[in-house]
Structure 1
Amino acid sequence: MDLLTTLKEQWPLLAIAAWFAYKWWSSRRVVRLLPELKSKGAVLVDVRSVEEFASGQAPGTINIPLPELGSRLNELSKSTPVVLCCASGTRSGMAKMLLKRHGFKDVYNAGTWRKLL
């Protein structure tokens, strides 16, 4: 079997692997930038549910559950960095897209909230 045939047959697995690799790399980059972002006054937002947040959270984070984020945008400033987190990085990724659509420029997805500990 040649390489082209293998790639054609395995592309879904390769795409999934690439997505997970990007997610991993991106969250590590945000964690490395965290001290600089905090020095700029970054707001750390955990978009998990109230119950999840109550069971454990990173110091300094505020809780705005993802379903409420659209109606609570006025609680965040577009002029300060926003660092988002959740249980796995998926909801915070959706939150990042939402904030970007509403004109927030400096938005970061840290992935899991435990990376902010």
Structure 2
Amino acid sequence: MATEKENVKQLSFEEVKALYENNKRNEILIDVRELEEYDEAHIPGIPLIPMSEMVDLVNEFKKDQEYVLVCRSGRRSHEVAKFFKDNGIENVHNYADGMIGWEAEKATGEEWVVEQVNEIYK
């Protein structure tokens, strides 16, 4: 069950896995780790937008969209979620367990490295 920390909803593995498996989901899952980490292992089909690029890109995100952010342990994604909220993106959640806690299928390689934020909107 989701908890909240510093005004950011913290999602568990079970909650994120259920979202991931729902093809009709409205939420957009985003990996915020660095390229090397994403390359080693990531949730299949999830785009990479590194935390280091968020300051420059935050205004390109749709403010009315719902986002779930993922990193290695949940710490960086939590910081990005707070940053989103500070910039008017209210519907953002953190995967608290991060990739350390991801107990489902993983992919490797540079599957979906985002060049422009509008790529993530279907």
Provide TM-score, normalisation by structure 1.
0.66
Off by >3 Å, runs of 4+ in structure 1: 37-40
What's 1:31 paired with?
16
Is 1:50 aligned to residue 41 of structure 2? Answer: no
In structure 1, how many angstroms separate the alpha carbons of the residues matched to 2:44 and 2:53?
A: 21
- 2:63 partner letter: K
Aligned length: 96
Structure 1 residue ranges without an equivalent (≥5): 1-20
Q: Please report the RMSD computed on the Cα atoms of aligned residues, expressed in angstroms.
A: 3.0
Maintained 8 Å contact 1:30/1:109: no
The one-character-per-residue Cα deviations of 1:5-55 (angstroms, maximum 9, x if unpaired) are: xxxxxxxxxxxxxxxx977x93327537726x8634221111110110011
Residue among 90, 111, 117 paired with 1:105: 90
Maintained 8 Å contact 1:40/1:80: no
Deviates more, 1:52-61 or 1:94-103: 52-61
Change (3 A) 1:108 1:115: farther
In structure 1, how many angstroms separate the alpha carbons of the residues matched to 2:90 and 2:4?
A: 20
In structure 2, how many angstroms separate the alpha carbons of the residues matched to 1:116 and 1:84?
A: 17
Q: How does 1:24-103 map to 2 (within 5 A)?
A: 26-28=10-12, 30-31=15-16, 34=19, 39-103=24-88
In structure 2, how many angstroms separate the alpha carbons of the residues matched to 1:100 and 1:38?
A: 26
Higher RCO (CA-CA < 8 Å; seq separation 6+): 2
- 1:105 partner letter: E
Identity between Structure 1 and Structure 2 (%): 29
In structure 2, how many angstroms separate the alpha carbons of the residues matched to 1:83 and 1:26?
A: 9
Provide TM-score, normalisation by structure 2.
0.63
